[in-house]
Amino acid sequence: MKSIKQLSFALITLGFMATSGASYAADAHPETPVSAPAGVKLVDAKQVQELQAKGATIVDTRKASEFGEGSIKGAISVPYDPEKSAKSADFNAAEDKFDTAKLSDKNATIVVFCNSGTCWKSYKAAVALSKAGYKNVNWYRDGVPDWKARKLPME
């Protein structure tokens, strides 16, 4: 009797460790790809400034509250929020909300950004825009932390 109890306890513990291990593995903090998705151009801070000077629309895809706290000067807020899909290149855009009503001109030059590295909002927004037929989508992967570090104009 005693040994059955202890054996079943050992099995339950193993099962527990396996499930917690599995859910841990599924929950890493992945970074976005370092190259741009199809139909999108990867740009750096200098290129963003050049595009902005030529009249490009700079789009902050972070939450509206983050945009309010400070963003690239002249940027507009088009939040990719809430973002519920998986943080991977084969994400399902149907799980997220991205209202592009503010971006009416599909031929306009658009630069999307959020925070760098582990922030997937701008990557997903770029994919969504490109799929929706926007022709000149640029992705500023380094995003706000890079812009701030370079002491470029914020507002």
Partner 1 sequence: MIYTIKSPALLIIGILMLVWGGLNNSGSIDGMQSYLQKSAYGDHMKVKEKFDAEYRVAKELAASEGSPAPDMKMKASKFDQVKAEQAKLSNVFGAVFVLIGLFTLVWKPTNGSLDYFVSVVPGVAYILLIAFIVRWGLDPIFANWGKAVKDAGILTWDFAHILNLNYVVLGIVIGMIIVNIFKIPAWAANGIRTARFFLKSGVILLGTLYSAAELAQLGGLSVILIGIFVLGSVGIVLFMGKRMGIPNSMTAVLSAGMGVCGVSATVASSPVVQAKAEEIAYTIGTILIWGVGCMFLFPTVGHMLNMGPVQFGAWAGTGILNSAQVAGAALAFDPHNIETLKVAEIFNITRVLFLPIIVLWLAAWYVKHEEGAEKVNLAQVVIAKFPVFVLGFIAMFALSSAGTFAPAGHYQGKYFSSSEVKEDKLLKGKETRVLDSELMRLREPDGAKALAKYLADTHVVSEGHNVTTTEVYQALGDLATNRKLMSRQQSDILKSVAKMEGFDGVAKGAIENAGKAATHDSKNIKEYRNWIAWLFAFGLIGLGMQITGKALKQAGGAPLIIGGIVGTLKAVGSLAVVLMFVKEFI
Residues that bind partner 1 (CB under 8 A): 5-6, 9, 20, 23-24, 27-29, 63-70, 77, 79, 84, 115-118, 142, 145-146, 148-150, 155
The nearer residue to partner 1, 11 or 135, going by C-beta atoms, is 11
* Beta pairing, strands 136-140 & 76-77: unpaired
User: Order of strands, edge to edge, in the sheet holding 109-113?
Assistant: 40-42, 136-140, 109-113, 57-60, 76-77
The nearer residue to partner 1, 47 or 77, going by C-beta atoms, is 77
Per the CB < 8 A criterion, the answer to whether 42 and 116 are in contact is no
CB of 38 to partner 1, least distance (A): 26
Q: Based on DSSP, count helices (H) and strands (E) in the chain, helices before strands.
A: 5, 5
CB of 116 to partner 1, least distance (A): 5
How does DSSP classify residue 28? -
CB of 5 to partner 1, least distance (A): 5
The nearer residue to partner 1, 23 or 104, going by C-beta atoms, is 23
CB of 64 to partner 1, least distance (A): 4
Instruction: Measure CA 95 to chain center.
Output: 14
The nearer residue to partner 1, 41 or 63, going by C-beta atoms, is 63
Phi and psi at 61, nearest 5°, equal -95, 5
CB of 95 to partner 1, least distance (A): 10
The nearer residue to partner 1, 20 or 88, going by C-beta atoms, is 20
Tokens for 10? 């050992």
Tokens for 115? 């925070």
